[in-house]
Structure 1
């Protein structure tokens, strides 16, 4: 990611001296120009002597007191780390790059020493947010230093990290990162590794290799994305005859010159193309079948060499059709997970394996866990203090995690206290909170720049002077400090709101004077993942009137249920990304209703079919006027407070940049997808307009990926669009086929089409085949295009 070198800017080593206290002993390759006592205290946290090993994180270049000086002499154009994909400077080029410091603290017991132990810390400074990849080499370097305490150890560590080769790592756009993190498939974007030598590719020679998606070439045959089947009565039929001599049966047809079989029933034969290709393509991985001019039985690659025993007379069992792409671990040719770039760091005589995550955003630093955060603060009984409307969006029933989110986005001063806890654990909570507020880095930003994962008394004045700081401390003396607004004690799971918060943040009117109150209300339903107010009320066992903006609580109940049923961290992160996305769209609607326009969203309009060219709707709306007013009113205070923060300024800049760089232009894609998903009534005219707009504007690789980035798994992926294959109007079916044909032209699109159920896949391919025949025989009166048969 970027050029080689520049991964490590500095290496620091600090030791605790019994007389002088924490001392910064070495700075390599040059002094940072920061107060050495501040660095030493940050590297040697309180209570470090009680832990054998501890990891902490802190940042440089946040504030004047921790900004390095002089500017890095190593930052020449040849070695400077390139900006991460999706990390735009947005006119902030005058600000120094934020440096992440990963710090390893160790207590070395030695009976010959006066206090029986030596406490020291070794740290590296890097611009990369995925600092966790450097833990193995840092552990080895500290062992090396203990064996030979000299600055040569720091030089070896510096050179080893900077020699790490990341030049082959794919550079992903924001949309590609979103698609990658939504997918559990270990081969997602495998075509991005095609430029690497075979030994460095994430898949071996026998695994699939996509062609490059940067070209405009079509990704041949969606056959590779469909589960195949063959009717029992056609097992002896030649493929060429099927294509050229007869019309397709209910189970087979020709698409793009290849015979395609659809379904997961028994009786399917697995075949390969006439060219005799080996199983080094996508279909060997996903368990699909492509036939050319003649049928040949293909060697099995589904599990092991012994898997052929599961075939009977060439028949592939249903159990071998479906799991092949869902359980990639079962395939012998499967290599490494494409969610990571695999490389090594050569330290001394060791080659340390490194897995660099490819879908990390700048607001996601290190290892963090939203599951841990939710588990630690899950009871409203543990919340105390005044109920400020910036924090409480559902009265006394507001969940502690929602209180934390509200405090993050409204710019409150937050402290995580972990008395007698390792400093590394406290740091993790701070990093998790930053991810929570930013929507896992995918929606908002500005949280990491005011985060102090480990803070102490030595630099108290500096970090407390930062507005809206997010700090982690281990000293209980901070409980009595008057400078925080929200204190979260990770030891007992309690949340305390400052008693003078109303004085610090006076409550103001939510509607500016002289402007009308909330007026608009309905364009399309609220997101299905959160449900409408009526649905939420039913779930809560109450009527609509008593459902006072409880969408947040229902959301947290869903999150807790997912954790209880052992859904992974990735699922929880995706749900919080959805939540923050919805908050931003809601805030955009509020801003438009109160001041007449919005700076970071599309205006709220409804579909208008009265014009010669129908105008699509845009923006956010609700199920009805009452529900819309109630939800906006319930969120008004936190939205007003958020509009005064840096996070709001950043989202306005990001939206303006997106309007210039988005490849799908001219309409609000999210609005159209929500209309298809949630509208109780969608007219034929609007459905035709939506599908035609998508098929006309989603053609290139970048456009396909941008569309897929909107389709979160909880929303069903392409499933709702696939219902267009069953629509009563020919125009909708035709536009859906055009759109899917354009999506399947690229490997990642084929992956998403693969996720459709058998009925949807079958309907699409039948329609595509019928359209193909219609184009080939436009003047044949005996052909019924609607059915694709004679």
Structure 2
């Protein structure tokens, strides 16, 4: 992992003095060069003496008032924050503890210790920080800070894998503990079959496909060869000793008598190794990383296992590998949702078009999401609550708005997980701040737009919100430059939480045919159905990972909707693909569609009208500018180029009665553009297992057209060339897996017959054949 070796930049120690208040006692290894009183008050939150232990989080180098200026400059690292003028963001994890002691004045002593780190997953340092503060209570000296500083910076993560965005998306939505196992262990370069190394822009030749199908047929007999999907190379004799007839016979008997067999075992990397050794020149074939079976495997590849040694104690550390910069700490969306879910939550205050997208029936979580993306000033109040609980809710809200860090950015830059009265004027002047407080005075005197009370779950919209956040008039459809008429009917991409076209039509019926929103709202609106689905999943004890994935989908669909809105109202878009449908031109050339998919144009107009105000609110924020930059960068640098991949997969997944020509073009385009590892990962990131995985692709195995079936087999063969593709193939049901193997075998047999017909000499008439004197028949031993 490419990261700074300095995991801990500073260690701070603060104490509460009954005469002087909160005091910053130590700063190691040097003073930060910022307001010491501010740091002390952040480390010793209000009411800390009422809590035996509490955790708080705050940031440095975030805004001009909390910039650090140490005498000795920190290690030079490029700025990763949205504002290039500020230094690299430092995350501060603080532990405050109260120890009751009758010998002390007021009967207790309160101390806090904090570490400043560049890692957003700061929760991994909690165990060592606990030990260090205990150490300081027993022996209060700067030596404790020095030991903590040295221990953290001695932690070794140099061999931790650095995952790409698509790899993170795949990892975070699966519970398998062996994903990307090959990235954790020493590797050896082994030749890869030609099927997986074909040129990106060229479909595999029949010869290469033949080699791949030979490997595919091995799945018929490889169910008992290994218990792992990624295995080391086996002896050559194991591969060559069994004939194809024996393999087929073994598979037939096994499929009849054993339902729970492994079907894609020999589809591992080792099958390519064995195939590559069957008479082919390995020197001309690129290499693929293969696991070293003798190395130690991680127990869970979601984390990198390392350790911190402090005062002779070795503390195991599990560093998460799939987090994004907008995800800080161990937040919980489930806690945020359950805190602000009806009937416990009551929304009060005036209605605002940016916030109340479903009138008075707007779900509280959706209102909070709307406030986050439109840049409203938000306060989370936790009166007589631990400051750590308030900070966790703030960080969860930031993740909610950003799509769990995978879609949008710019939330952490304006977040203050714990804020105090000390520097109130500074952070209240940050546009669209997201602050957590414990002092109830902010409700009456604070300059906020939306207040969320953690204690009783109520949400209050400020009475003067129309003054602080005036609503701009919406663009008029039909204005110069706008798109008036669209051709083609787009079906199938139902909003999150809605299944099928009937629900889509029902949820969008709250608007009349002219696209005007029903001011009274509807209980069965799209957003309400989505939230009912989320709450139901939580009640059935689905995990945090699923909830995060659903909100990532929700935010992704929102930004794709914005692109359609800009096209219809403004004439063009820079935040997404232009909207078009599949069409065949006069000269016979077919063109794939792109953009968001709706049931029909009427439902598109209705949904755009519902979301128009919050879209306009978002378009006036820095987050929108950041997203446009990110989208343009992604289009220029992503592995799969030239078409809207999401659009094609949604068409395959949800649209009924797709034209055969469109299906064929989609599958051919996928085969031609999914060849390398990065392209495979980008495709699989859009096919999460909890939504069916590869099912939209494997339905092509049963299409009536042979060409579409062949394209599907070609694509699955490429996926099988990589360990991550094998994992996804193993997620298919037995029927789809067997269909893949059967068709691969059939294609190989046909190719084999065709080659023999071209290469073998003509066979004479069997009736004129005379056996030799050495044949069994001539010796009288024939039957």
Report the TM-score range of the alignment, normalised by the length of the smaller protein. 0.7 to 0.9
Alignment partners' CA distance in 2, 1:554 and 1:323 = 38
CA drift of 1:440 comes to 0.4
Alignment partners' CA distance in 2, 1:164 and 1:387 = 52
Q: Give matches, 1:98-137, under 5 Å.
A: 98-137=89-128
Q: Which residue in the other structure is 1:140 paired with?
A: 131
CA drift of 1:613 comes to 3.6
SS at match of 2:218: strand
CA drift of 1:94 comes to 3.9
Contact kept? 2:304, 2:319, Cα under 8 Å: yes
Alignment partners' CA distance in 1, 2:367 and 2:640 = 36
Name which of 289, 298, 306 aligns with 1:343: 306
Q: Give matches, 1:496-535, under 5 Å.
A: 496-511=460-475, 514-515=479-480, 516=482, 519-520=485-486, 522-527=489-494, 529-531=496-498, 534-535=501-502
SS at match of 1:602: coil
Q: Which residue in the other structure is 1:31 paired with?
A: 31
Name which of 513, 532, 540 aligns with 1:565: 540
Contact kept? 2:508, 2:526, Cα under 8 Å: no
Name which of 720, 723, 727 aligns with 1:751: 727
| CA shift digits 1:645-704 (9 cap, x unpaired) | 111011011011111210100000000001111212310110000000000000000000
Runs of 4+ in structure 1 deviating by more than 6 angstroms, as ranges, are 210-213, 313-316, 537-547
Contact kept? 1:4, 1:162, Cα under 8 Å: no
Q: Which residue in the other structure is 2:381 paired with?
A: 417
Q: Which residue in the other structure is 2:361 paired with?
A: 397
Alignment partners' CA distance in 2, 1:421 and 1:519 = 55
Name which of 260, 265, 269 aligns with 2:219: 260
Alpha-carbon spacing, 1:565–1:585, altered in 2? closer, same or farther (3 Å)? same
The structure with the larger Rg is: 2
Alpha-carbon spacing, 1:142–1:523, altered in 2? closer, same or farther (3 Å)? same
CA drift of 1:70 comes to 3.9
Paired residues in the alignment total: 689
Q: Which residue in the other structure is 1:184 paired with?
A: 175
Contact kept? 1:61, 1:98, Cα under 8 Å: yes
Contact kept? 2:90, 2:116, Cα under 8 Å: yes
Q: Which has the higher contact order (CA 8 A, sep 6+)?
A: 2
SS at match of 1:9: strand
Alpha-carbon spacing, 1:322–1:39, altered in 2? closer, same or farther (3 Å)? farther
Alignment partners' CA distance in 2, 1:536 and 1:386 = 30
Q: TM-score normalised to the size of structure 1?
A: 0.82
Q: Which residue in the other structure is 2:771 paired with?
A: none
Q: Give matches, 1:607-756, under 5 Å.
A: 607-610=582-585, 611-756=587-732
Alignment partners' CA distance in 2, 1:212 and 1:630 = 56
Alpha-carbon spacing, 1:270–1:633, altered in 2? closer, same or farther (3 Å)? closer
Contact kept? 1:526, 1:532, Cα under 8 Å: no
Q: Which residue in the other structure is 2:157 paired with?
A: 166
CA drift of 1:408 comes to 0.2
Alpha-carbon spacing, 1:706–1:64, altered in 2? closer, same or farther (3 Å)? same
Alignment partners' CA distance in 2, 1:594 and 1:314 = 58
Q: TM-score normalised to the size of structure 2?
A: 0.82
SS at match of 1:260: helix
SS at match of 1:488: strand
CA drift of 1:539 comes to 7.7
| CA shift digits 1:306-338 (9 cap, x unpaired) | xxxxxxx999964675999xxxxxxxx985100
Alpha-carbon spacing, 1:314–1:441, altered in 2? closer, same or farther (3 Å)? closer
Q: Which residue in the other structure is 1:240 paired with?
A: none
Residue 292 (1) aligns with residue 267 (2): no
Q: Which residue in the other structure is 2:342 paired with?
A: 379
Alpha-carbon spacing, 1:153–1:755, altered in 2? closer, same or farther (3 Å)? same
SS at match of 2:97: strand
Alpha-carbon spacing, 1:717–1:470, altered in 2? closer, same or farther (3 Å)? same
Alignment partners' CA distance in 2, 1:257 and 1:645 = 52
Alpha-carbon spacing, 1:760–1:323, altered in 2? closer, same or farther (3 Å)? closer
Q: Give matches, 1:445-456, under 5 Å.
A: 445-456=409-420
Alpha-carbon spacing, 1:53–1:526, altered in 2? closer, same or farther (3 Å)? same
SS at match of 1:510: coil
CA drift of 1:710 comes to 1.1
Q: Which residue in the other structure is 2:561 paired with?
A: 586
Alpha-carbon spacing, 1:146–1:176, altered in 2? closer, same or farther (3 Å)? same
Q: Give matches, 1:409-488, under 5 Å.
A: 409-488=373-452
Q: Give matches, 1:232-243, under 5 Å.
A: none
Contact kept? 1:529, 1:714, Cα under 8 Å: no
Q: Which residue in the other structure is 1:282 paired with?
A: 229
| CA shift digits 1:269-327 (9 cap, x unpaired) | 9543xxxxxx5853689xxxx9733479xxxxxxxxxxxxxxxx999964675999xxx
| CA shift digits 1:93-135 (9 cap, x unpaired) | 4431111100001001111101111111100011111010000
SS at match of 1:100: strand
Alpha-carbon spacing, 1:318–1:155, altered in 2? closer, same or farther (3 Å)? same
Alignment partners' CA distance in 2, 1:744 and 1:436 = 35
Structure 2: give runs of 5+ residues left out of the alignment.
197-211, 244-253, 266-295, 513-517, 759-783
Alignment partners' CA distance in 1, 2:438 and 2:410 = 24
Alpha-carbon spacing, 1:428–1:193, altered in 2? closer, same or farther (3 Å)? same
Contact kept? 1:726, 1:733, Cα under 8 Å: yes
Alignment partners' CA distance in 2, 1:316 and 1:120 = 67
SS at match of 1:59: strand
